[in-house]
Amino acid sequence: MNPLEQTLERLTARAVDLVSRAELEAKLKQARPLRIKYGADPSAPDIHLGHVVGLNKLREFQDAGHTVVFIIGDFTGMIGDPSGRSQTRKPLDRAQVAANAQSYQQQVFKVLDRARTEVRFNSEWFAPMKFEEVIRLSAHVTVAQLLARDDFSKRYAAQQPISLVEFLYPLIQAYDSVMVRADVELGGTDQLFNLLLGRELQKIFSQEPQVVLTLPLLEGLDGVNKMSKSLGNYIGVNETPKDIFGKTMSVSDELMWRYFSLVLCLPEPEIAALRQAVQSGARHPREVKDELGRKVVAKFCGEAAGVEASAEFARVFSERQVPTDMPEVAVAEASLGIIALIVKAKLAESNGEAKRLVQQGAVELAGQKCGDPRAQVAIEDGAVLRCGKRGFVRLRRV
């Protein structure tokens, strides 16, 4: 295999859709760095492992000498995109978008090479656009084309409303490709329609069409839905090493192989060898998952943090000890109902949730199980209240 073929194999590894391999090969033969477009709407302040799937691929392009054009959709973030959803994502105001965009820039460089990254905001070209220019741009796309998008067609068939604003979203994303003269655009499989529309719009504007490469959507901690902040099934790259490790350890044994592949980019032969070791009994699944957790933490926080998080997890969950570091809650009362105490300690958001934790046997105070939701408990200075697997606070009498 010659160097070009090796590069092509590395850059297309783990891809789902590639339009097209021949075009990408031709672009790689050019004597200039390619412009690799990746767009992200700052709909939340956190970047999670689902985003990292795309960032990893961008870094591989950078390591091959190419430039990433990271577009922060500060303009599109105020519209909302239903890609892969049954309803529109809630649009944000300018202040929310600006704050989230700032957070994004700080987090993406945990994976990307800053020196090979060009950060752009699509308000740069959309904010000054006049309405007549919007109309001219819209003339390049038909309603039939837009209804071909899977989520739009399903909602139309179900007689669910689709606003004209939503119809404009794919066009806006496609026009980004024109404005930055993208050679390649990456995205999740739910973005395929939008990415392909970018190719068509570039042709209309007499540009060489971008290569489209989509990547798998990473399932979240529930093992069913794609990782999402709104669903609460995510692992954020800015979380503490302890939380990143603990959440990773909650991933199912079957799903952890996807994390080895999509988050850590472990070569498939190595993943196959690990699976074989588990299936043969040579290695315990928990041991392999611990390795996964350490490496995920190391990716964002350093190797020492990964080792420390693993040791702390073992100490707390395997040896049933309490964490070395936990928040304190000041309590003035000499005694409280266990439900009130749990809510006061912010280990549950409501009395109902606290009651369920008690009934499930998930609550301990000073090392003693609390199984009666009606119990009145004495508040001792320094006592540890534990709820569930990761909820710990130390009580302080005031």
Conformation bin of residue 72: beta by default, left when phi > 0, alpha when psi is -120 to 50: beta
Give residue 324's pLDDT: 65
Segment 201-210, tens digit of pLDDT: 999 999 999 9
To the nearest whole number, what is the mean pLDDT of the chain?
88
Q: Which of 271, 385, 298, 291 is nearest to 337 (CA)?
A: 385
Give residue 388's pLDDT: 78
Contact 83, 151 (CB under 8 A): yes
- 172-181, 269-278, 295-304, 338-347: segment of lowest average pLDDT: 338-347
Give residue 309's pLDDT: 92
**96 pLDDT band (50/70/90 cuts)?**
confident
Whether pLDDT at 86 is above 50: no
Segment 373-391, tens digit of pLDDT: 898 988 888 888 888 776 8
How far is residue 81's CA from residue 91's CA, in Å, rounded to a whole number? 8
Helices (H), 118-267: 123-126, 131-138, 143-147, 150-157, 164-180, 192-204, 241-249, 256-262
Q: Which residue has the higher pLDDT, 108 or 349?
A: 108
Task: Give 284-291 contacts, CB < 8 A, sequence gap 24+.
Answer: 285/253, 285/256, 288/256, 289/248, 289/249, 289/251, 289/253, 289/256, 290/249, 290/314
Contact 194, 173 (CB under 8 A): yes
Q: Which of 77, 87, 89 is nearest to 230 (CA)?
A: 89
Class of domain 328-397: alpha beta
**Is CATH 1.10.10.1100 the right assignment for the domain spanning 3-215?**
no
Whether pLDDT at 397 is above 90: no
In the chain, DSSP finds a helix count (H) and a strand count (E) of 17, 13
DSSP 255-295: THHHHHHHTT---HHHHHHHHHHHHHTSS-HHHHHHHHHHH
Distances (CA, A) of 49 to 82, 150, 257, 261, 296: 20, 25, 14, 12, 9
Pair of tokens at residue 280: 């043969």
Strand 35-40 relative to strand 67-72, pairing:
parallel
Q: Which of 38, 41, 14, 51 is nearest to 234 (CA)?
A: 51
| Percent of the chain residues topping a pLDDT of 70 | 93
Give residue 371's pLDDT: 86
Each domain of the chain, given as residue ranges in start order, spans: 3-215, 241-318, 328-397
- For 33-38, what is the mean pLDDT? 97
Segment 5-33, tens digit of pLDDT: 999 999 999 999 999 999 999 999 998 99
Please count the residues of the chain.
Answer: 398
DSSP 36-57: EEEEE--SSS--BHHHHHHHHH
Give residue 84's pLDDT: 45
Segment 200-239, tens digit of pLDDT: 999 999 999 999 999 999 999 988 899 987 788 899 999 9
- For 251-272, what is the mean pLDDT? 94
For residue 156, the SS3 value is: helix
